[in-house]
Structure 1
Amino acid sequence: MSGSESRMRAISAVTDYKPVEQPLNFAAEPTSELFGVNVFSKNVMQERLPKAVFKSLSRTIEMGEPLDPNAADIVASAMKDWAIEKGATHYTHVFFPLTGATAEKHDSLLTPGDSGQALAAFSGKQLIQGEPDASSFPSGGLRQTFEARGYTAWDVTSPAYILENPNGTTLCIPTAFISWTGEALDKKTPVLRSMKALNEQAHRILSLFGNDNNEFIGATCGAEQEYFLVDSNFYYTRPDLLTAERSLFGAPPPKGQEFDDHYFGAIPERVLAYMLEVERELFKLGIPVQTRHNEVAPGQYEIAPLFETANIATDHQQLIMLTLRRIAEKYGMACLTHEKPFAGVNGSGKHVNWSLGSASAGNLLNPGDTPHDNVQFLVFCAAVIRAVDKFAPLLRSVVASAGNDHRLGANEAPPAIISIFLGDQLTDVFKQITAAGSADSSIESGTLTLGVDSLPPLPKDAGDRNRTSPFAFTGNRFEFRAVGSNQSIAGPLVALNTIVADSLDHIATKLENATDKGEDLNKAAAVVLKDILEQHGRVIFNGDGYSDEWHAEAEKRGLPNLKTTVDALPALLEQDVLDTFEKFNVLSNREMHSRYEVYTEQYILAKNVEANLVLKLGRTMIFPAAVRYQSELASTCANLKAVGYDFDTNTLDKVTTLIKDLQDALDALEIENEKKVEGESIDHAKHYLDVIVPIMNKIRNAADKLEGFVSDDLWPLPTYQEMLFIK
C-alpha cells in the first residue's frame, strides 16, 4: 500500500503495535472479586457508620426522605478514613454542567497541623456543599459573568467512589450544581426532581389498586453505549477527528459494511484486551456492565450495563464514557463517541431502556403472561402512550444535537418522527379495548421447533422487535432509541419522567373521581384507557419506520417530523411543556429557557468549529495536494505533447474542474462564516443549517471526489479504509 509519508508512518505504527504495559493479572485477581471495591457503598457504610446514622441515610437513599444534616459530620469522617485507606489525598465534588461533560475541582484532604505535620480533615460541611464558579459554565442567561456564586450539593442517593490514577487516587462525590438563586445549572438536579414527581404520581395509581407502600418508585435505566475505536496514529493526523470528533472529509472505502460481516463478529485481539480492562475498571466503580460486541460498522463497538435507578445510571453513563476514552489511550487508540464520525457507515446511538418500579412493587411495565387481565400494567403503559404522543416534539428536542442530526433517519437509527412500537400482543390488547371497551384475551407466546433433533425447542415471544422505531416496547420496558451516543442521558430521562408523571396525574385524577362516586375501578380504568387510545393511538406504529409510506402516513396522522436540531429545539418553549415542567417543579420557565439558549448555542458553536476546520483543512491540506497532482498531470501532458504524443487530458480536466469547485466553495464558506447574522440565537443557527452546511457539503463533495484521483503518495489525510479496517 502506498501513501503519504505521515500516513505510512501511522500505518507502520499500527501494524507494529505492541502493548505498552504488562497485561492484567486477571488470574491472580479475578474481575468478579473487584465489583464495587472503589465505591462507598451501602455495605461499606453499614460497616463504618453508627447504626442510627446508617438507617437514617438508608431511608434517604431508598425512601427519598430528607437528609439529616446532623449525620453529615459522621458520614464525612467515615468517608475520609475509607478514602485515605484507598490512597486518596484529594476529594472532588463531581457535577454535570449544561455542557453535557463532567466537571470537577480537586481539594486536598490534608491540611498543615500546628507542629508542621499533615493532618487529614474532611467535615460534614465540606461533604454537603462546595462552591465552584458558576459564571464560567453555560447558563443560558441564569447567571451573568459578574454573578459568580454557585453551589454543589451532595447527592446522597448516588454513592461516592474512588478514581484511580497511576500516581494516586481521588475521592469523588456526586453532586448537584445550582446557582446562588437556587436554579439548576446542571443535568443532575432536574433528574432528581423528575424522579420525585414520577414517584408521587405513581403512588397515586398504586394506591387505587391497593398496592401502595412508602417505598420510592424510581425510574430505572439501562443505557447501551455505541462507540468507534481508531488507532491514535490516524486520530492525531486527522485534525477534524481530533477537534470535532467527526471526519469532515473522506471518500467511502471500497468495502464498507455492506457485507454485514462486522456485526457480532470476532472481536480483534487489541480491542478485546481494551474492552476487558474497561470492564475491569468499571466493575471497581460498581458499574454493572453486562454486554460487549462488535457493532454494525467496521471499527464500531458497544458496551451495555444492567438496569439501575435513573439517577445512578446517569452518573455511571458519564463514567463509562470517561473510562472508554481514558483506557483507549493506553492501547494506542482513540475512542469516538460522536454520533456520526464517519459518513456512509452506521453512526452511534445510546439506546435508553426505561422503566419504573421498586423492590416490592416490581417492574410496573411488566405485562405478565396475560396483559389483558393486568389492568394496573395497562394503565401505566397507556400513560406512556399518552405522554409520548402529547409531548412528541419535546422528546425529539431532548435528543437534538449537531451530531445526532447526521444520524437520525439513517439506516441504523430511527426516523425523526416519534412513534411507539408495542408489538403484536399489546397492540391486539389495546385494539380490543378501543373497539369494545375491554379486552378478554392476549396473544400467547409459542415455541420454535428448529427441525434438528439435537437442538432444543426455544420459547417464542408473543411479538417481534422493531429496530426502526424510536420508542419501542421490548417486553418489560421501553427503549428510546433516538438518543445520541455523545449525549448525556439526563435530558431524555428528565423528559420521560416528567411527561409520564403528567399522564399518571391525568389518569389518577380521573380514576379517583370515578371511585369516589362509587364506580368500579376496573370499569373506570377501561373508560380511561379507551379515551387515551382514541386520542393518542395515532402514535402507535409497528411497521417499517424507514419507509416512504410511513412518512406519508405519519403526516396524515398529524405526527410531527422535526428533522433537524433547529426544527426541534423550539419545542422546549412550547407553553404546554413549560406549564408541565413548572407544575411538577422539575424546571421553572427560566430554567427551561436557559436550556433552550444553551443547546442552541452549542449547535452554533459545533457548526462554527466544523466550518473553521473545513476552511483550514480544505485550504492547507486538500487544495495543495490536489494542485500538486494537477501540476504533475499538466507536466506529463506537456512533456508527452512535446515529443509528439497526443495525450488524453480527460483526467486533468476532471481534476481541474474539481479543484475549481473546491476553491469556489471555500471562498463562499469564508464569506458566509464571517457574516454577522441579525436576530435571535435560533436565527444564527438557521443560518448555519440553511446556508453554511450546504456549502460545507459542496466542499466535501469536491474533496472526496478528488481523493479518488489524487496520487496516493500526495493525499495528506488517513483514509476511511485505513481508519476503519486497520486495528
Structure 2
Amino acid sequence: MTFRSKAIEVALQRQPIPLVPPVEKITELYGTNTFHEDTMRTLLSPEAYIKISNAIRAGSNIDREVAEEVATAMKSWAISRGATHYTHWFQPLTGTTAEKHDSFFDLTPSGKAIEKFKGSALVQQEPDASSFPSGGIRATFEARGYTGWDPSSPAFLMDNGAGGKTLCVPSVFIAYTGEALDYKAPLLRALNMLDKAATSVCQYFNRDVAKVTPTLGIEQEYFLVDKALYYARPDLVMAGRTVFGHGPARGQQLEDHYFGSISPRVNAFMVDFEFEALKLGIPVRTRHNEVAPGQFECAPTFEEVNLAIDHNALLMDLMQKMAEKHSFKVLFHEKPFAGINGSGKHNNWSMSTDTGINLLAPTTKPKENLRFLTFLVNVIKAVHDNADLLRASIASSGNEHRLGANEAPPAIVSVFLGTQLTRMLEDLVSSGEITLEKGENFYYKLGINRIPHLFRDNTDRNRTSPFAFTGNKFEYRAVGGNANSASPMIVLNTIVARQLMDFKKELDERLNRGEEKKIAVVEILKKYYTDSKKILFEGNGYSEEWVEEANKRGLSNIKTTYEALKVYTHEDTIRLFESVEVLNARELHARYDIELENYIKKIQIESRVMGDLALNHIVSTAVKYQFKLAQTARSLSDLDMNNEAEPIKEIIREISEHVIIIKKLVYEMTESRKVANNLEDLVEKAKMYSLDVKGYFEEIRYHVDKLELVIDDEDWPLVKYREMLFIR
C-alpha cells in the first residue's frame, strides 16, 4: 500500500466530532476570554478605569501608576481562569503573529514562590529583534527591540490546548532606534491621522462630531483538506500550495458547491472554532461554502479597523489550531489549487462618527448627501491618485498566482460605484444638483403574494471589481487570503487622510475668499470627480476588453510583485507617508526590502519543491511504470501480437517524451535559480526569480500533469485533486 492510498484510507474513516454547546445562548460566550471594558470597570478603581477608557477612546497617555493597577487586575483575572503565563502578542513583518511566553511564577529574595506581573511588564517587553526581518533598520548584532502594550485592543486568554492558558497582550513592535518593525504601529498612526482629517471635514457639516472611527469587516476565505491527505502532499506542507495536480473531471463548473449544504464534519469544525472565537471577542456571524469545492468562508461583524485586524490574525491562528482537533488542515494560500478559485480576504471598509453616522451611507436628504458625496468623492480621488500604491499593498507571491485569474480582481485597480451613484455624480457635474432617486423598482414585484416585498438596494454589487462600493462601504476584494490586512489598511487610511487634508485646505482657501460653503464644496467635488472618473468601471473586470480599455485610459496593470513593490520607494510615496507621519523613508525602504526578500524566498521554496517532486516522485514513478509497460509489450511481441503491443509502445514513447522534457526543464530551472542566488542586487534577484525561475513553473507542471493522466492510478505517488477537494 502506497503512502497516498494509506492517507486516503485514513481520510475516508474520519467521522465528525460530536459537539455539545457550552452554553444555552452563544451570546453568553462573547468576550468571556477577553479583558474587556466591563471587566475593567469591575476590577479597577473608578479613577484608573476613566484613564484607561480615555486612552482607548481618545489616545491619551497611561501613566505607570495606572499601568500597575491594570497589570494587577489582569493577573488576577487571568490566573482565576487558568492562565500560568503572559506574553506580548505582536505582528512582526513575517506575515504571522509572534509571542514569547513568560511565567507569572517568580521567587522573592527569601526564596518564596509568588505570582508576579508588574505594570512595567505589561507596558513594555524586550524580545530579541535580531531574528525578525528589519530590512536593514538594525544590524544583526543589535538584538534589542521593544514591544509596547496597545490598550485599544483588549488582552485575551489563549488556550494552549495541552493544559494551561496564556494572557496575551496585543502590542506594537519597534526597533531600538524607534522605527516600526511591525504592522500595528504604522496602522495606529494611519488611523489616528484619518480620525483627525475626517473629523475636521465632518465639522463643516456637523459641529457635534468629535471623532471619526474607520471600520472594517474582513471576509476570510479558506480551504479545508484532510490532515492525512495534506501530509501526503509535500508541496502543500512546504509551499502552502500544490505545484502539480491535474484538474478533476468535476471541479466548480456545476456551481453546486457555493452556498451548498455544509457537510457534518466541516460543520463541526466551524461550530467549534466559532465557539472559541466568540470567547475571544471575535464577532463571527457568517459561515458558508464558497465557489470552489473544499472552499469555505467566515465573516465577522464590522469592528474598528485595528481591532478587526487583530481579530483576523487571531482567527487564522485559532482556525489552524481547531482544524488539528478535527483532523483538518486549513489552507489560507491565495491559490492552493490550479483551475479553481483561489482565496481572498475581502476588506469591507467605511468610516463612522461618534454621533452614529456612517459617512459612506447615502440618504435622500440633500444636506446629508452633500456630506456623503464629499467623503465618497474624496475616497475615489485618493484611490485614483494612489492606485499603484494600493496595488503594492496587496502584492505577494501568493496573490501573484491569483490576481487576474478568472475568479479574482485583476491587477488593474478600478472603482465600481453602480449605475445610480455614477448617474448621481454625473448630475452633480452637469447641473450642480444632488439627486438620489428611488426609481420604479425600489421594491421588486415578484407576483407571488405570500412572499414579502423585497427591497432593492441603492447600489448594485460587482464581483469583478477590486474596489467596489457596496451600499454603505467600500469592499477591497484584491487582498489575498493569507495576507495581514494591516498592509492595505495602512495605505488606504493614509491616502484618504491625506486627501481629506488637501480637500480641507482647498475648501478653506475658497471660504476665505468669501465663497458660499455649499457652492465651494460642490465645485471642488465636481473637479475631483472629473479628474478621477477614469478609474470608475461598471463592467466585467475579468474581460480582455477591460484590459484594453484600461490601457487606453492610462491605468496601470502591474502584474508582477517585484514591479508592484517598487512603488514603496518612489519619492511621491515617501513624501505622502512622511507628510502624515505614518512611515518615514527608512521604514518604507525597509518594508520594500523585506517584501522583496520574502517574495524571493517563497518562489525559491516553490522551485525547490517542484524540482524535488518532479525528479524524486514523478520521474522515478514514470520510469518504473514504463518498465511495467515494456515488459507487457515484450510479452505481447513474443506472442506475435505486435498490433496489440503498439498502443502500449505509444504510451511508453509518450511517457519518455514528458520525462525528457521534465528533466531538461528542472535542470534549466535549477541553473536559473543558482544564477539568481548569486546576484547581489535584491531587485535584480527578485526580477530574475519572477521572470526566469518562475517562468518554468507552468511548463514543468503541464508535463507532470499530463503524466498523471497516463500513469496507472495505483502507481501515482501524489494525492490527487479529486481526493483533496472532495474527501471531507
TM-score if structure 1 supplies the norm length? 0.97
State the alpha-carbon separation in 1 of the partners of residues 159 and 665 from structure 2: 49
1:300-349 deviation line (CA, Å, top 9, x unaligned): 00000111111101110101100111100111110000000000000000
Distance apart, 1:293 and its partner CA: 0.2
SS in 2 for 1:151: strand
Q: Are the structure 2 counterparts of residues 556 and 679 from structure 1 closer, same or farther at C-alpha, using a change threshold of 3 Å?
A: farther
Distance apart, 1:558 and its partner CA: 0.7
Deviates more, 1:119-128 or 1:63-72: 63-72
Give the paired residue count: 721
SS in 2 for 1:415: coil
What corresponds to 1:192 in structure 2?
A: 188
1:377-436 deviation line (CA, Å, top 9, x unaligned): 111111100110000000000100000011111122111100000112211111112223
SS in 2 for 1:374: helix
State the alpha-carbon separation in 2 of the partners of residues 320 and 549 from structure 1: 39
State the alpha-carbon separation in 2 of the partners of residues 160 and 452 from structure 1: 51
Contact conserved, 1:278 with 1:323, CA < 8 A, in 2? yes
Distance apart, 1:31 and its partner CA: 2.7
State the alpha-carbon separation in 1 of the partners of residues 366 and 616 from structure 2: 63
State the alpha-carbon separation in 2 of the partners of residues 472 and 716 from structure 1: 44
State the alpha-carbon separation in 2 of the partners of residues 665 and 299 from structure 1: 32
What corresponds to 1:698 in structure 2?
A: 699
SS in 1 for 2:203: helix
Distance apart, 1:615 and its partner CA: 1.1
What corresponds to 2:374 in structure 1?
A: 379
State the alpha-carbon separation in 2 of the partners of residues 369 and 6 from structure 1: 64
Deviates more, 1:163-172 or 1:284-293: 163-172
State the alpha-carbon separation in 1 of the partners of residues 617 and 492 from structure 2: 46
What corresponds to 1:17 in structure 2?
A: 14
Distance apart, 1:156 and its partner CA: 0.6
Contact conserved, 2:19 with 2:268, CA < 8 A, in 1? no
**Structure 2 counterpart of 1:620, which letter?**
N
What corresponds to 2:670 in structure 1?
A: 670
**Structure 1 counterpart of 2:723, which letter?**
E
Mapping of residues 317-396 of structure 1, within 5 Å: 317-370=312-365, 374-396=369-391
Deviates more, 1:278-287 or 1:697-706: 697-706
Distance apart, 1:116 and its partner CA: 4.1
State the alpha-carbon separation in 1 of the partners of residues 118 and 136 from structure 2: 33
What corresponds to 2:279 in structure 1?
A: 284
What corresponds to 1:577 in structure 2?
A: 573
Contact conserved, 1:578 with 1:592, CA < 8 A, in 2? yes
What corresponds to 1:716 in structure 2?
A: 717
**Structure 2 counterpart of 1:344, which letter?**
G
Match of 1:50 among 45, 55, 79: 45
Distance apart, 1:724 and its partner CA: 0.2
Matched, 1:437 2:432: yes
Contact conserved, 1:677 with 1:687, CA < 8 A, in 2? no
Matched, 1:505 2:501: yes
Matched, 1:237 2:238: no
State the alpha-carbon separation in 2 of the partners of residues 315 and 296 from structure 1: 27
In the alignment, structure 1 segments of 5+ residues that lack a partner are none
Contact conserved, 2:209 with 2:354, CA < 8 A, in 1? no
What corresponds to 1:539 in structure 2?
A: 535
Distance apart, 1:441 and its partner CA: 4.5
State the alpha-carbon separation in 1 of the partners of residues 216 and 206 from structure 2: 26
SS in 1 for 2:130: coil
Distance apart, 1:688 and its partner CA: 1.1
State the alpha-carbon separation in 2 of the partners of residues 63 and 293 from structure 1: 37
Contact conserved, 1:372 with 1:440, CA < 8 A, in 2? no
State the alpha-carbon separation in 2 of the partners of residues 117 and 467 from structure 1: 63
State the alpha-carbon separation in 1 of the partners of residues 256 and 560 from structure 2: 31
Match of 2:245 among 243, 247, 250: 250
SS in 1 for 2:215: strand
Contact conserved, 1:93 with 1:175, CA < 8 A, in 2? yes
What corresponds to 1:517 in structure 2?
A: 513
State the alpha-carbon separation in 2 of the partners of residues 358 and 180 from structure 1: 36
Contact conserved, 2:443 with 2:453, CA < 8 A, in 1? yes
Distance apart, 1:25 and its partner CA: 2.4
State the alpha-carbon separation in 2 of the partners of residues 442 and 140 from structure 1: 52
State the alpha-carbon separation in 2 of the partners of residues 439 and 209 from structure 1: 16
What corresponds to 1:104 in structure 2?
A: 99
State the alpha-carbon separation in 1 of the partners of residues 197 and 608 from structure 2: 49
Distance apart, 1:606 and its partner CA: 0.1
State the alpha-carbon separation in 1 of the partners of residues 384 and 366 from structure 2: 22
Contact conserved, 2:209 with 2:353, CA < 8 A, in 1? no
Mapping of residues 620-639 of structure 1, within 5 Å: 620-639=616-635
State the alpha-carbon separation in 1 of the partners of residues 197 and 135 from structure 2: 30
State the alpha-carbon separation in 2 of the partners of residues 294 and 91 from structure 1: 37
Q: Are the structure 2 counterparts of residues 516 and 210 from structure 1 closer, same or farther at C-alpha, using a change threshold of 3 Å?
A: farther
Contact conserved, 2:404 with 2:410, CA < 8 A, in 1? yes
State the alpha-carbon separation in 2 of the partners of residues 473 and 588 from structure 1: 31
Match of 2:480 among 474, 481, 484: 484
Mapping of residues 448-459 of structure 1, within 5 Å: 448-459=444-455
Q: Are the structure 2 counterparts of residues 30 and 213 from structure 1 closer, same or farther at C-alpha, using a change threshold of 3 Å?
A: closer
What corresponds to 1:725 in structure 2?
A: 726
State the alpha-carbon separation in 2 of the partners of residues 172 and 451 from structure 1: 56
Contact conserved, 1:408 with 1:414, CA < 8 A, in 2? yes
State the alpha-carbon separation in 1 of the partners of residues 153 and 617 from structure 2: 48
State the alpha-carbon separation in 2 of the partners of residues 427 and 69 from structure 1: 53
Q: Are the structure 2 counterparts of residues 222 and 371 from structure 1 closer, same or farther at C-alpha, using a change threshold of 3 Å?
A: farther
Match of 1:226 among 212, 221, 225: 221
**Structure 2 counterpart of 1:715, which letter?**
W
State the alpha-carbon separation in 1 of the partners of residues 575 and 133 from structure 2: 24
Q: Are the structure 2 counterparts of residues 432 and 695 from structure 1 closer, same or farther at C-alpha, using a change threshold of 3 Å?
A: same
Contact conserved, 2:444 with 2:454, CA < 8 A, in 1? yes
Mapping of residues 630-669 of structure 1, within 5 Å: 630-646=626-642, 647-648=645-646, 649-669=649-669
Contact conserved, 1:372 with 1:441, CA < 8 A, in 2? no
State the alpha-carbon separation in 1 of the partners of residues 518 and 615 from structure 2: 70
Q: Are the structure 2 counterparts of residues 428 and 373 from structure 1 closer, same or farther at C-alpha, using a change threshold of 3 Å?
A: farther
Matched, 1:495 2:491: yes
State the alpha-carbon separation in 2 of the partners of residues 480 and 301 from structure 1: 19
State the alpha-carbon separation in 1 of the partners of residues 466 and 15 from structure 2: 42
What corresponds to 1:5 in structure 2?
A: 2
State the alpha-carbon separation in 2 of the partners of residues 526 and 366 from structure 1: 18
Contact conserved, 2:284 with 2:298, CA < 8 A, in 1? yes
1:75-108 deviation line (CA, Å, top 9, x unaligned): 1111111111111111000010001100011111
Q: Report the identity percentage.
A: 45
State the alpha-carbon separation in 1 of the partners of residues 696 and 516 from structure 2: 64
State the alpha-carbon separation in 1 of the partners of residues 129 and 574 from structure 2: 24
Match of 1:121 among 116, 137, 146: 116
State the alpha-carbon separation in 1 of the partners of residues 331 and 151 from structure 2: 32
In the alignment, structure 2 segments of 5+ residues that lack a partner are none
State the alpha-carbon separation in 2 of the partners of residues 192 and 710 from structure 1: 55
Distance apart, 1:209 and its partner CA: 1.8
1:613-657 deviation line (CA, Å, top 9, x unaligned): 111111111111111111112222222112211121222221111
What corresponds to 1:466 in structure 2?
A: 462
What corresponds to 2:29 in structure 1?
A: 34
Deviates more, 1:382-391 or 1:362-371: 362-371
Contact conserved, 1:372 with 1:442, CA < 8 A, in 2? no
Q: Are the structure 2 counterparts of residues 410 and 705 from structure 1 closer, same or farther at C-alpha, using a change threshold of 3 Å?
A: same
**Structure 1 counterpart of 2:67, which letter?**
A
